[in-house]
Amino acid sequence: MKKSLALVLLLPVVLFCACTEKPVAPKPREAGHRIGIVFDVGGRGDKSFNDSAYAGLRLVASTYKGFIKDDPDKVDFGKDVELKYLEPKKSGPDREQLLRLLSEEGYDLIFGVGFMFTDSITRVAKDFPEIHYAIIDVNLLDLTEASNLTCLGFAEEEGSFLAGALAGLATLDKPKAKVGFIGGMDAPLIHRFQAGFAAGAAYANPGLRKPGMILSQYIGKDSSAFNDPGTASAIATTMYKAGAGIIFAAAGGSGKGLLEAARALGKDCIGVDTDQGYGYSSSEDPKAKETGKHILSSMLKRVDQAVFLTSEELIKTGKVKGGYRTYDLKASGVGLALNSYNKDRLEPYMDRLDELKARIMAGEIRVPSDDASAAAFIQDLR
């Protein structure tokens, strides 16, 4: 029986053309390359989006004899590559300030983690034409290989389709069971997760094609919605009590609230971005271990590999090409987590999930990426 669900990711990158001639601050060359990153709200420790980006930094350090400057974990494999991360304030008002700080310190490549960096990284990239920038989850217009800005995107809907299919398959024997989706910020990017999840759930489980069987709710309208586990927990509790058997959240740090609610109520859930089930189950903390038992799987979004591959391009070639990169299912950029803790629970569904994965990669299943196309997709299944 195949066990091919744990995914890695794709490989593209991008930059932004700059017209100004603002001088870049001089930098010491103790390290061969210097790479910086600004996390989004929630910062390191969100066990999701930002932690995946941090894992990418660690991989760069371990692979290319680097160190993470001022890191509490004292990651240090050598002095060939200097890495550094900064964390914004709670609501992220200082994103641009932090990008400029790294730029003024003369880092060679600087990442902005998340679509909320769109305006700020565009301005900063124009002011520092000699520095390469990369932004995750954004597709800016009119970039070329000569640009100094790289857009790193993902096919979230494809990975979420598999998460939805898993939820549907796991509730096939419970005709009255609903499934739920909790989104962080009510934004087009998060609706991609919702669309894929709903389509996958309905595709795998005919009972979920009826109106009202797939529940959904968003935490808020601004970026603070990605750092509000209390609200996520309240929404999850309401959904479980309304009949949801499994809930999937795409909500960054807020997703902790879903995981805690699942543990408290003895329900199942699906994590996001990192392999949250492994992270919790392998913890030495008894409460975390118990939480891990309720995480059926996680929809992997390999931000770590995007950070690593983009950094590797700089290290190997001395520059990063501008333009666009899309990390999809075919490139192992998204997918479902399979680990030693959940493999037995997933085994009954593996063949079906692998079949769906193959059909998506072959173009036989066109996964919807917005609410309207998801509704049409499900209507066609009825």
Percent of the chain whose pLDDT exceeds 90: 85
Query: 382 vs 315, which has greater pLDDT?
Result: 315
- Answer whether residue 304 shows pLDDT above 70: yes
Q: Is residue 321 domain-shared with residue 373, that is, in the same domain?
A: no
pLDDT in tens, 160-176: 999 999 999 999 999 89
Domain residues for the domain of 205 are 156-302+333-381
- Answer whether residue 29 shows pLDDT above 90: no
The mean pLDDT value for 323-338 works out to 95
Between CA 73 and CA 55 the distance in angstroms is: 12
- Answer whether residue 67 shows pLDDT above 70: yes
The mean pLDDT value for 303-307 works out to 95
Farthest-apart Cα atoms in the chain, separation: 65
Between CA 351 and CA 181 the distance in angstroms is: 24
Between CA 257 and CA 32 the distance in angstroms is: 42
Q: Is residue 80 domain-shared with residue 151, that is, in the same domain?
A: yes
Q: Is residue 314 domain-shared with residue 338, that is, in the same domain?
A: no
Between CA 63 and CA 72 the distance in angstroms is: 20
Q: Is residue 182 domain-shared with residue 66, that is, in the same domain?
A: no
Q: What is the residue whose two structure tokens read 């509790």?
A: 237
pLDDT in tens, 85-105: 999 988 778 999 999 999 999
Q: Is residue 322 domain-shared with residue 280, that is, in the same domain?
A: no
The residue type found at 183 is G
Tell me which residue of 183, 189, 81 sits closest to 136, measured CA to CA: 189
Local confidence band at 11 (pLDDT 50, 70, 90 cut-offs): very low
CATH number at residue 217: 3.40.50.2300
What tokens does 332 get? 């192992």
Q: What is the pLDDT of residue 45?
A: 85
Q: Is residue 173 domain-shared with residue 38, that is, in the same domain?
A: no
- Answer whether residue 217 shows pLDDT above 90: yes
Is 59 a member of any domain? Answer: yes
pTM value?
0.85
Strand partners, 133: 110, 149
Is 26 a member of any domain? Answer: no
Mean pLDDT computed over every residue of the chain: 91
Q: What is the pLDDT of residue 15?
A: 31
- Answer whether residue 375 shows pLDDT above 70: yes
- Answer whether residue 296 shows pLDDT above 80: yes
- Answer whether residue 211 shows pLDDT above 60: yes
Q: Is residue 144 domain-shared with residue 194, that is, in the same domain?
A: no
Q: What is the pLDDT of residue 183?
A: 98
Q: Is residue 60 domain-shared with residue 170, that is, in the same domain?
A: no
In the chain, alpha helices (H): 49-63, 95-104, 118-127, 156-170, 188-204, 229-241, 255-265, 276-281, 286-292, 303-317, 343-346, 350-361, 371-381
Is 21 a member of any domain? Answer: no
Q: Is residue 186 domain-shared with residue 278, that is, in the same domain?
A: yes
Q: Is residue 140 domain-shared with residue 289, that is, in the same domain?
A: no
Q: Is residue 339 domain-shared with residue 211, that is, in the same domain?
A: yes
Is 1 a member of any domain? Answer: no
Local confidence band at 320 (pLDDT 50, 70, 90 cut-offs): very high
Q: Among 311, 327, 343, which residue terminates a domain?
A: 327
Q: Is residue 274 domain-shared with residue 375, that is, in the same domain?
A: yes
Q: What is the pLDDT of residue 31?
A: 66
Is 250 a member of any domain? Answer: yes
Between CA 54 and CA 37 the distance in angstroms is: 9
The least confident of 19-33, 60-74, 121-135, 141-155 is 19-33
The mean pLDDT value for 296-318 works out to 96
> Could you give the number of structural domains in the chain?
2
pLDDT in tens, 42-56: 888 888 889 999 999
Between vectors from CA 225 to CA 268 and to CA 250, what angle results, nearest 5°? 35
Is 371 a member of any domain? Answer: yes
The mean pLDDT value for 196-222 works out to 97
Is 191 a member of any domain? Answer: yes
Is 265 a member of any domain? Answer: yes
